[in-house]
Amino acid sequence: MAHSGEGPCVFCRIASGEAEAYIVYEDGAFLAFLDKWPVNPGHTLVIPKKHYPTIFEMPPPEVGELFERVALIAPAVRRATGADGLNIIQTNGRAAWQSVFHVHVHIIPRHVGDALRLNWPHRSASPSEFEDMRNRIREELASGAGGSEP
């Protein structure tokens, strides 16, 4: 499986059976397994078996299929862990905290009062800033570049 970056892709190695993982779900194109470094017990990763560094390289129909698997697996994780809720997180690029450059979705069980904090500062924006950003995004979508990375 092709990949970019340094050394063999650990998720490709898991998908091919070369590396061990606690697999909770597998079909022809996708795999879900327990995170080796769980935030909370039951922290599960869902990946495509085919290597894509980020969601920008992944064809939109396959992104949809990935999230169909997330929607199937998430309720099972919640029930199995007795979680009060879940965080479902998908990151792209170092600036977004991606550490393994193979598309993956985190399903993180959450319990009231657990120590995990996902805080980010909120900023305000003026109506003109909102309008400008809305227009810029709409222009990108209209150009057909919505599914492409710059």
Give the pLDDT confidence score for residue 117 in this predicted structure: 84
Segments of the chain with pLDDT less than 50: 1-5, 150
Domains of the chain and any CATH numbers: 10-119 (3.30.428.10)
Per-residue model confidence (pLDDT) at position 7: 63
The tens digit of pLDDT for each residue in 40-61 reads 999 999 999 999 999 999 999 9
Q: Give the C-alpha distances (Å, rounded to integers) separating 85 from 44, 75, 81, 100, 116.
A: 14, 10, 10, 25, 12
Q: What is the pTM of this model?
A: 0.87
Share of the chain above pLDDT 90, in %: 83
**Would you call 3 a catalytic residue per the annotation?**
no
SS3 9: coil
Q: Which of 51, 104, 106, 122 is catalytic?
A: 104
pLDDT of residue 1: 42
3-state secondary structure (DSSP) of residue 130 = helix
Q: What is the pLDDT of residue 147?
A: 57
What pLDDT is attached to residue 4?
44
pLDDT of residue 3: 44
